[in-house]
C-alpha cells in the first residue's frame, strides 16, 4: 500500500474505508458484490466439491485395488466415476480457476476496484452453488449421473437410462452453464474496460490474457453443450427424437455437439493454469517473461484452435477418413502454440535466477506433467494409434496428466503463491516442499502406470477385472499412489490452515512480484487501492518511480476517487481513462434470483411444466426488482 | 482528471445525453450485450446446424410425407419483424439526443409490430401442431425446437421493451439510456436470428 504520509492522505483513506466498508456478518456475505469476497466464496465451495470428487476418485481406486473386488459394484461404480468427472470439471477446476483465482485477482491485477458487473458476479456464484447442490442432490438420492461425464446416447436415452440420473446431469449442466456464461461475459468486459489508466493491452499481465482467452472460449463453447443437454431432455421427457435413430434422429449428433464443447473445455481447464504459471515464473526468477507477445498470442491461439479439433475424440466412430485426417492435422497444430509457451517458461527459468520456493516447485511439476500429457496427446492424434488404444487406460493416463498434472498443479502452486496476499500471513515453506513432493510422487504413481495398463489392454470404465491378466500389480501401485496424492493434498490444506492461524505476518509484496495485486496491503482493503495506479509497463511493481508517484497522488488527491463507490472505466485498446463508474455495493437480488432459478430447474426435473413456466416468469419479476435500484442510488 | 465524466450521476435527460456524447468507447452494458449475443448466436448456430445435419441424413425431407411449410405468411411477418430494427435504432438515437417522448414512442411502435408477429406465429405454431407433432419423428422434433427457441426470444424481447419503456416514463438516467441501447442491440440480434430461423424452417419448401 502506498505509505500514508500526510494528514490529507490519511483523511482520504479514511473516507475510502467508510464508503467501501462491507456489511458485517452473514448478511454481508449473502448480499456481497465485492469481487474478493465472491472469490473467497468460490474458493471454499469449489474446494468442498474437490473433496467430494477426491473421495469419489479414492473409492474408484480402492475398488480397483484387487481383481473381482465387490466394494462398490457396477451401479455405484458408474455413478462414482461419472460424478468424479462431472465434479472435477464443472464444480472444481473451472470454478476454482475462473471463479476463485480470476475473481480475486483479475480486478487487482488490472488496477480496478471491482468487476465490470458486480451484481452479475454475485449471481454467477450463487447459480454455481445452486447447480452444484442440484447435481449432488441426485447423487444423495441414489440417482447420480451414471453414463460417464460425456454422457453418450443411446446409453443416456430414456430407453436405456429410465431413472432420473441423466436428468440431474442434463439440467444440472445447463444450470451450471448459465453461471459460467455470466462469469465469462463479466471477465471479458472487466478485462477490456476496467483496466487502470495506461495499461494498454500490450501491458496487461499474461495472467489476464489467459483469462481473456478462457472467457471467450466459454462464451462460444457452452452453447453447444446447453443445446445438446436441452435436446437430450426434450428426447427424454417429451418424446422428441433428435438423438433417436429409430425415428430419423442420430446418435452420433450428441457426440459432435458434446465435443464441440468438450474439446475447447480442455483448454478452458488448462489456460488459467498457463496464466498462473506466467505469474509465478517471473516472480521467482526475478526476470521478465521471455517472448511476452508470443506467449500472449499463443494463449489466445490455443483457445481458438481448440474449437477445430473435436473429432479427435471420435476417431473410432466410423467417420470418413478424410474427416479424420483433417482433425488429426488440426490436433497436431496445437503443438505449436503449446510448444511456444513451454519453451518460454523453460527459457525464463533457465535465464533467470530461480528460487525454488513452493509455488515455483509446483510450476516445475506442472511443466513435467504438461510435457508428459502433451506427448501422449501427440501420440493420440495419430489415427491408427488412437483407434487401437481408445477406451483403454492409456486415455485415462493422458487426460489426467493434462487436466490433473498440468491444470491442477499450478492451482496448488497458486494457492501458496497468493496465500500471503489473501490472508496477510506467510505459509510454512518446509511443509510446502514436503506437500509438493508428496503430490508430485503421488500423481506420477497414480497415473503413469495407466499408460502401461492401457497398452496391455485394460479397458476404462469397468468396475472390476479378472486376475491373471497382468493388471493387478499396476492397479495396486496406482491405488497406493492415489492415497499418497491425497496425503499431499491434505498436507497443503493443513499447511494453509495452520499458517492462517499462526503464520508470520505477510508484507504487501513478499515475493517482489511484478503485478499490481502486490501494490496493495495484504490482505487488500475493501477498496483494493487507495490510489488508482497509473501503469507504464507490463511489470508495474518493478517500476518504482510510478509507485512513488501513486503515494504523491494520494496526498494530492489525484486518482483517489473517494467521493463515492467509484472506479474508472477506460478505452479498450489503450486504457485511456474514459469515465468514472459508480459501482453497486451490495444487493439481495442475485441470491434471490439464484433461488428462483433453482425452482425453475427443480420443477423441470419433477415435470411440473406449468410451475416451471411460472417460475420462469418470476425470474423476470426478480430482474425488474434488481434493476429498480440503479447504482447511483445505492 | 476533472474532465472525466461521472456517468452515473447523470439523472436527467440532458445530463445522460451529455455523458453519451462524451464517451470515447462503448459503455460496459453494450459490451455485455454484445458478448451475450455472441453466445446466443452460437446457440442458434448449433440448433440450425442440427436441423441441417438431420436434414442431410435423409433422402426425403420432411420425413414421413409431412407437407413442407407454406412460405408466404412466415416470410411476410419475418420481414415485418426485421423492419422493427429501424424504430429500435431511432429509439436509441432519440434517447441519446435527450428526446424521451420520441424514444418511448418508437419503442411502443416497434412493440406493437413485435406483438403482432408473435401472435401470428403462435397461431401458425398451433396450426402446425394439428398437422404433425414433435414426438412423431426427428423432423417434427427439430422443427418445433427451432421455432420454440426463436419465439421465446421474441417474447423476452417484448418483455424487455415494455420494461424499459416504463422505466423511461419514470425519468431518464444514464443507466436507462444504456438499457435502451442494450435492448435495441438485443432486437437487432433477434431480428437476424428470426430471419435465419425462418429461412431454415422454410428451406424444405423454398
Q: How far is CA A92 from the centre of its chain?
A: 7
Q: Please tell me which of the candidates B40, B138, B173 has its beta carbon nearest to residue A249.
A: B138
Q: What is the pLDDT of residues B103-149, one digit of tens each?
A: 999 999 999 999 999 999 999 999 999 999 999 999 999 999 999 99
> Is B136 an interface residue toward A (CB < 8 Å)?
yes
Please state the three-class secondary structure of B101-128 as a single string: HHHHHHHHHHHHHHHHHHHHHHHHHHHH
B63 contacts A222? CB cut-off 8 A: no
Residue B15 lies in a domain: no
Q: Do A219 and B39 touch (CB under 8 A)?
A: yes
Is B119 within the bounds of a domain?
yes
Which domain covers residue B164, as residue numbers?
28-201
Considering the domain boundaries, does residue B13 fall inside one?
no
CB-based contact, B52 to chain A, within 8 Å: no
Q: Chain B within 8 Å of A224 (Cβ-Cβ)?
A: yes
pLDDT at A280 (0 to 100): 97
Instruction: Establish if B28 touches chain A: CB-CB under 8 angstroms.
Output: yes
- Beta partners for residue A392, in sequence order: A459
Q: Residue B35 domain-assigned?
A: yes
Nearest CA distance, B141 vs chain A (angstrom)? 5
Give how many domains chain B has, as a whole number: 1
Query: In angstroms, rounded to a whole number, what is the distance separating the alpha carbons of residues B206 and B70?
Result: 9
The answer to pTM > 0.90 is yes
- pLDDT band at residue B12, thresholds of 50, 70 and 90? confident
Kindly calculate the radius of gyration of chain A based on its CA atoms and give it in whole angstroms. 25
CB atoms within 10 A of CB A429: 12
Look at B8 and A244 and tell me if their CB atoms are within 8 Å: no
pLDDT(B23) > 90: no
Residues of chain B in contact with residue A264, where contact means CB-CB under 8 angstroms, are none
Q: Which pLDDT score is estimated for A488? A: 98
CA A441 to chain centre: 24
Question: Would you call A244 an interface residue with chain B, using a CB distance cutoff of 8 Å?
Answer: yes
The 3 state secondary structure assigned to chain B is: CCCCCEHHHCCCHHHHHHHHHHCCCCCHHHHHHHHHHHHHHHHHHHHHHHHHHHHCCCCCCCHHHCCCCCCHHHHHHHHHHHHCHHHHHHHHHHHHCCCHHHHHHHHHHHHHHHHHHHHHHHHHHHHHHHHCCCCCCHHHHHHHHHHHHHHHHHHHHHHHHHHHHHHHHCCCCHHHHHHHHHHHHHHHHHHHHHHHHHHHHHCCCC
Grid coordinates belonging to A193: 474496460
Note the pLDDT of residue B22. 78
What CATH number is attached to the domain comprising B155?
A: 1.20.120.80
Give yes or no for residue B7 having a pLDDT over 90.
no
Q: What is the pLDDT averaged over residues B32-39? A: 98
| Tally of CB atoms within 10 A around A588 | 15
- pLDDT of res. A633: 64
Nearest to A116 among B28, B63, B175 (CB): B28
Q: How far apart are CA B129 and CA A39, in angstroms?
A: 48
d(CA B70, CA B72) in angstroms, rounded, equals 6
Give me the average pLDDT of each 10-residue run along chain A (634 residues).
71 92 93 96 98 97 96 95 97 96 97 95 98 97 95 95 96 97 97 95 95 97 98 97 96 97 94 96 96 94 94 94 94 94 96 96 97 95 94 97 96 98 97 98 97 96 94 97 98 97 96 95 94 94 93 89 90 91 91 97 96 97 92 64
In a domain, residue B193? The reply is: yes
Looking at CA atoms only, how far is residue A336 from chain B in angstroms? Answer: 27
Contact A124, A186 (CB under 8 A): yes
Find the angle CA(A379)-CA(A382)-CA(A387) to the nearest 5 degrees.
Answer: 100
Q: Is residue B92 part of a domain?
A: yes
* Bridge partners, residue A567, by sequence: A581
Helical residues (DSSP H) of A194-251, grouped into ranges: 206-238
- Which burial class, exposed, middle or buried, applies to A252 when counting CB atoms under 10 A from its CB (0-12, 13-18, 19+)? middle
Interface predicted TM-score (ipTM): 0.95
Do the domain assignments include residue B85?
A: yes
Chain B hits for A234, CB-CB cut-off 8 Å, are: 134, 141, 145
Q: Is residue B21 part of a domain?
A: no
Cell representation of residue A256: 459432435
- Cα B156 to Cα B145: distance, rounded to the nearest angstrom: 17
Contact B1 A559 (CB under 8 A): yes
Nearest by CB: A631 against B36, B47, B175: B175
pLDDT at A1: 45
Closest CA relative to residue B175, chosen from A291, A627, A484, A443: A627
Amino acid at each position: 500500500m502506498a505509505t500514508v504520509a500526510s494528514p490529507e492522505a490519511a483523511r482520504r483513506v479514511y473516507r475510502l474505508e467508510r464508503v467501501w466498508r462491507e456489511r458485517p456478518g452473514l448478511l454481508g456475505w449473502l448480499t456481497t458484490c465485492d469481487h474478493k469476497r465472491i472469490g473467497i466464496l468460490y474458493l471454499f465451495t469449489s474446494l468442498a466439491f474437490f473433496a467430494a470428487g477426491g473421495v469419489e476418485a479414492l473409492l474408484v481406486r480402492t475398488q480397483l485395488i484387487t481383481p473381482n473386488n465387490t466394494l462398490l459394484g457396477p451401479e455405484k461404480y458408474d455413478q462414482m466415476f461419472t460424478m468424479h468427472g462431472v465434479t472435477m470439471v464443472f464444480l472444481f477446476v473451472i470454478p476454482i480457476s475462473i471463479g476463485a483465482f480470476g475473481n480475486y485477482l483479475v480486478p487487482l491485477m488490472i488496477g480496478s476496484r471491482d468487476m465490470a458487473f458486480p451484481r452479475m458476479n454475485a449471481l454467477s456464484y450463487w447459480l454455481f452453488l445452486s447447480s452444484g447442490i442440484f447435481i449432488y442432490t441426485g447423487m444423495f438420492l441414489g440417482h447420480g449421473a451414471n453414463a460417464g461425464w460425456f454422457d453418450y446416447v443411446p446409453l443416456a436415452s430414456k430407453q436405456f437410462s429410465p431413472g432420473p440420473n441423466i436428468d440431474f446431469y442434463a439440467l444440472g449442466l445447463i444450470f451450471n452453464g448459465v453461471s459460467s456464461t455470466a462469469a465469462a461475459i463479466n471477465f471479458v468486459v472487466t478485462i477490456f474496460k476496467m483496466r487502470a489508466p495506461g495499461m494498454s493491452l500490450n501491458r496487461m499481465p499474461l495472467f489476464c490474457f489467459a483469462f481473456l482467452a478462457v472467457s471467450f472460449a466459454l462464451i462460444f463453447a457452452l452453447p453447444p453443450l446447453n443445446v445438446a443437454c436441452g435436446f437430450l431432455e426434450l428426447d427424454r421427457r417429451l418424446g422428441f427424437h433428435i438423438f433417436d435413430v429409430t425415428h430419423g434422429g442420430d446418435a452420433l449428433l450428441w457426440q459432435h455437439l458434446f465435443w464441440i464443447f468438450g474439446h475447447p473445455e480442455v483448454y478452458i481447464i488448462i489456460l488459467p493454469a498457463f496464466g498462473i504459471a506466467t505469474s509465478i515464473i517471473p516472480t521467482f526468477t526475478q526476470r521478465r517473461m521471455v517472448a511476452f507477445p508470443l506467449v500472449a498470442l499463443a494463449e489466445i491461439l490455443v483457445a481458438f484452435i481448440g474449437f477445430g479439433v473435436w473429432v479427435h475424440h471420435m476417431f473410432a466412430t466410423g467417420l470418413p477418413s478424410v474427416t479424420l485426417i483433417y482433425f488429426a492435422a488440426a490436433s497436431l497444430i496445437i503443438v505449436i502454440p503449446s510448444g511456444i509457451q513451454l519453451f518460454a517458461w523453460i527459457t525464463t527459468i533457465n535465464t533467470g535466477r530461480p528460487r525454488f520456493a513452493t509455488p515455483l516447485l509446483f510450476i516445475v511439476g506442472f511443466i513435467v506433467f504438461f510435457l508428459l500429457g502433451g506427448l501422449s496427446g501427440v501420440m493420440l492424434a495419430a489415427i491408427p494409434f488412437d483407434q487401437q488404444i481408445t477406451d483403454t487406460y492409456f486415455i485415462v493416463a493422458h487426460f489426467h496428466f493434462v487436466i490433473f498434472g498440468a491444470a491442477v498443479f499450478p492451482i496448488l502452486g497458486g494457492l501458496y503463491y497468493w496465500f500471503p496476499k489473501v490472508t496477510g500471513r506467510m505459509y510454512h515453506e518446509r511443509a510446502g516442499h514436503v506437500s509438493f513432493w508428496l503430490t508430485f510422487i503421488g500423481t506420477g504413481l497414480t497415473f503413469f502406470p495407466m499408460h502401461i495398463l492401457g497398452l496391455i489392454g485394460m479397458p476404462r470404465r469397468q468396475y472390476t477385472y479378472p486376475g491373471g491378466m497382468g493388471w493387478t500389480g499396476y492397479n495396486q501401485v496406482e491405488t497406493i499412489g492415489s492415497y499418497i496424492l491425497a496425503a499431499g493434498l491434505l498436507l497443503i490444506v493443513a499447511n494453509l490452515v495452520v499458517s492462517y492461524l499462526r503464520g508470520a505476518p505477510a508484507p504487501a509484496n513478499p515475493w517482489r512480484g511484478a503485478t499490481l495485486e502486490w501494490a496493495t496491503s495484504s490482505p487488500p482493503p475493501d477498496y483494493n487501492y487507495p490510489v488508482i495506479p497509473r501503469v507504464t509497463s507490463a511489470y508495474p511493481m518493478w517500476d518504482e518511480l510510478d509507485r512513488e508517484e501513486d503515494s504523491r497522488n494520494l496526498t494530492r488527491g489525484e486518482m483517489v476517487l473517494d467521493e463515492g463507490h467509484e472506479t474508472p472505466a477506460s478505452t479498450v485498446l489503450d486504457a485511456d481513462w474514459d469515465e468514472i463508474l459508480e459501482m453497486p455495493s451490495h444487493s439481495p437480488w442475485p441470491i434471490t434470483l439464484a433461488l428462483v432459478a433453482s425452482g425453475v430447474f427443480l420443477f423441470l426435473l419433477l415435470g411440473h411444466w406449468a410451475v416451471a413456466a411460472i417460475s420462469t416468469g418470476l425470474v423476470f419479476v426478480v430482474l425488474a426488482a434488481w434493476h429498480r435500484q440503479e447504482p447511483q442510488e445505492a | 482528471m476533472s474532465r472525466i465524466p461521472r456517468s452515473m450521476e447523470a439523472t436527467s435527460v440532458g445530463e445522460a445525453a451529455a455523458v453519451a456524447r462524451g464517451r470515447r468507447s462503448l459503455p460496459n452494458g453494450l459490451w455485455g450485450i454484445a458478448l451475450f449475443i455472441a453466445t446466443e448466436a452460437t446457440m442458434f448456430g448449433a440448433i440450425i446446424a442440427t436441423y441441417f445435419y438431420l436434414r442431410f441424413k435423409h433422402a426425403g425431407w420432411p420425413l414421413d410425407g409431412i407437407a413442407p411449410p407454406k412460405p408466404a405468411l412466415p416470410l411476410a411477418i419475418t420481414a415485418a419483424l426485421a423492419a422493427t430494427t429501424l424504430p429500435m435504432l431511432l429509439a436509441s438515437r432519440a434517447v441519446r439526443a435527450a428526446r424521451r417522448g420520441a424514444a418511448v414512442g418508437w419503442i411502443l411502435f416497434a412493440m406493437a409490430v413485435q406483438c403482432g408477429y408473435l401472435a401470428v406465429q403462435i397461431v401458425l405454431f398451433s396450426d402446425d401442431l394439428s398437422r404433425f407433432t414433435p414426438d412423431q419423428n426427428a423432423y417434427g422434433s427439430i422443427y418445433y425446437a427451432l421455432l420454440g427457441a426463436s419465439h421465446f426470444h421474441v417474447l423476452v424481447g417484448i418483455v424487455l421493451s415494455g420494461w424499459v419503456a416504463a422505466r423511461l416514463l419514470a425519468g431518464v438516467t444514464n443507466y436507462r439510456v444504456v438499457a435502451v441501447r442494450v435492448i435495441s442491440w438485443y432486437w437487432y440480434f433477434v431480428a437476424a436470428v428470426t430471419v435465419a430461423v425462418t429461412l431454415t424452417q422454410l428451406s424444405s419448401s423454398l
